[in-house]
Amino acid sequence: MTETNNAAEADRAVKAKHRKMWALGDYPAVATQLIPELGPTLVRACDVRSGQRVLDIAAGSGNAAIPAALAGASVVASDLTPELLETGRGFAAERGAELEWREADAEALPFADGEFDTVMSTVGIMFAPHHRAAADELLRVCRPGGTIGLINWTPEGFIGQMFATMKPYAPAPPPGAQPPPLWGREDHVRELLGDRVTDVEAHRRTVRVDRFAKPEDFREYFKTNYGPTIAAYRNIGDDTERAAALDRDLDALAQRHGGGGGTFVMEWEYLLFTARKRG
């Protein structure tokens, strides 16, 4: 019993750190200013329509949940971080969308088996530390014959490479945690879902990011707004040499992905994955 209690306490501590990290900066700005088309892209891929019951896991401020609600579905937007949900409520009100917002852990969802027609996540579920647990929950709450839809950053794409770049500077991951960009590998997602799904479709696509004039602009924007980047710099603390080294590494990464032709435009690769839960 003590071992079980210790494991539960450790998991609560991990989730508290995740919750705090995603509340840093301004992730809703990142979602709305840099990647606003990802949510509608997933909603279309899942063929969300009126009358359906839809769950958006790790919904953040509603990048996919709000478009799903505007398509006429009955939507629940769930996320571990209440600050993101609160911002999402404001966004939904501005757009005239009605949906439910629920604080929830992707690895222990507070919903019944088979409750939803469509279960989706846009660059969200990938950050749950235990991939198998999150995948099992994703499937559990989807009805037989229902739709699974995911957009996740690939390991080889810009955001996947950004996490690899930040890794030496960032806090150590908790024991048993898997790297988020693995969710951007088709074979990894297929292995997680196994024979519990059919009609799998997986496509690598990119989203164009042209907001920044130069790599340094990107770096400063992420240092200000993106929780994982803020956490990496905070982990460095007052070590100015390491902070300068991370600055240089992020600038070099951005330059490799966005340089050339006299402009600074990046194409961020993601995996669009859809399937049906086996009936």
**Which of 113, 123, 69, 112 lies closest to 91 in space, CA to CA?**
69
What pLDDT was estimated at residue 260? 63
Does residue 31 sit in helix, strand or coil?
Answer: helix
pLDDT of 59 higher than 90: yes
Q: What is the average per-residue pLDDT within 183-198?
A: 98
pLDDT of 85 higher than 70: yes
pLDDT of 20 higher than 90: yes
3-state helix, strand, coil in the chain (%, to 5): 50, 20, 30
**DSSP-assigned letter for residue 184:** G
Report d(CA 80, CA 110) in Å as an integer.
Answer: 12
pLDDT of 262 higher than 90: no
pLDDT of 243 higher than 80: yes
Report d(CA 41, CA 78) in Å as an integer.
Answer: 19
Q: What's at 194, amino acid-wise?
A: G
Q: What's at 278, amino acid-wise?
A: R
pLDDT of 65 higher than 90: yes
Tell me which residue has tokens 């992905």. 257
Q: What is the average per-residue pLDDT within 256-277?
A: 90
pLDDT digit string (tens) for 132-185? 999 999 999 999 999 999 999 999 999 999 999 999 999 999 888 999 999 999
Q: What is the average per-residue pLDDT within 54-64?
A: 98
Report d(CA 193, CA 190) in Å as an integer.
Answer: 5
pLDDT of 7 higher than 80: no
What pLDDT was estimated at residue 261? 61
Range of lowest pLDDT (15-19, 53-57, 111-115, 221-225): 15-19
What pLDDT was estimated at residue 5? 64
Sheet containing strand 142-153, strands side by side: 100-103, 74-79, 53-56, 116-122, 142-153, 266-277, 197-209
Report d(CA 50, CA 250) in Å as an integer.
Answer: 43
Judge contact between 105 and 82, C-beta under 8 A: no
pLDDT digit string (tens) for 106-130? 999 999 999 999 999 999 999 999 9
Domain 2-207+270-277 annotated CATH 3.40.50.150:
yes
Q: What is the average per-residue pLDDT within 83-98?
A: 98
Report d(CA 118, CA 143) in Å as an integer.
Answer: 8
Q: What is the average per-residue pLDDT within 78-93?
A: 98
What are the residue ranges spanned by the domains of the chain? Answer: 2-207+270-277
**What are the angstrom distances between the C-alpha of 112 and each of 108, 136, 194, 197, 253?**
11, 13, 21, 19, 43
pLDDT of 6 higher than 80: no
Does residue 267 sit in helix, strand or coil?
Answer: strand
Average pLDDT, the chain: 95
Report d(CA 158, CA 155) in Å as an integer.
Answer: 8
